[in-house]
Amino acid sequence: MPTKVIMGGANDRGANNGGTQALPIKNNVLDTMNPVGARIHDLCGPLTLFYFQNHHGPDRVEELSRFADPGEDMPLTCPISGKPYVCVSQGLMAKGHGFRIFMYDPEPHNGVRWCGVLPDKSGSSQSVVMYALDLPEKEFQKFTKASDHLLIP
């Protein structure tokens, strides 16, 4: 059975219309209240497409540019620090957390670090869904490269 791709992105925030074309919603509460979270959310669409095509995440955030819609401006940096987002091709993992981090903000803001994550569904035929998550910095510090974890099938 083929894997179904569902992704976050600029055109789906706040829209849930049963899988049909999402309605564009701009300047919503997420955009104005948390521009970092909104930008990470917007990049989860291209991040999902990259993962679906390559079976791993990008090494550099610039690799997501090829998944931008024609004419779309795809900022790849934090709107607060101006630093580029960090990508980890095999992801970051932590014991007790059911997801991998494939992209994250290079520095925390207000005690949290925004991340692009993929739930761990090893061996599952469920959908590939990347989403934005605001992780408390104390929890983020527990994550290490997935290659550092012993993976038992």
Tokens of 55: 């079976």
Q: How confident is the model at residue 21 (pLDDT cuts 50, 70, 90)?
A: very low
**pLDDT per residue as tens digits for the range 128-146:** 789 999 999 999 999 999 8
CB contact burial 72-85 (16+ within 10 A = b; e otherwise): eebebebeeeeeeb
pLDDT digits (tens, 9 = 90+) for 47-72: 999 999 999 999 999 999 999 888 88
- CA-wise closest residue to 61 among 21, 116, 129, 14: 116
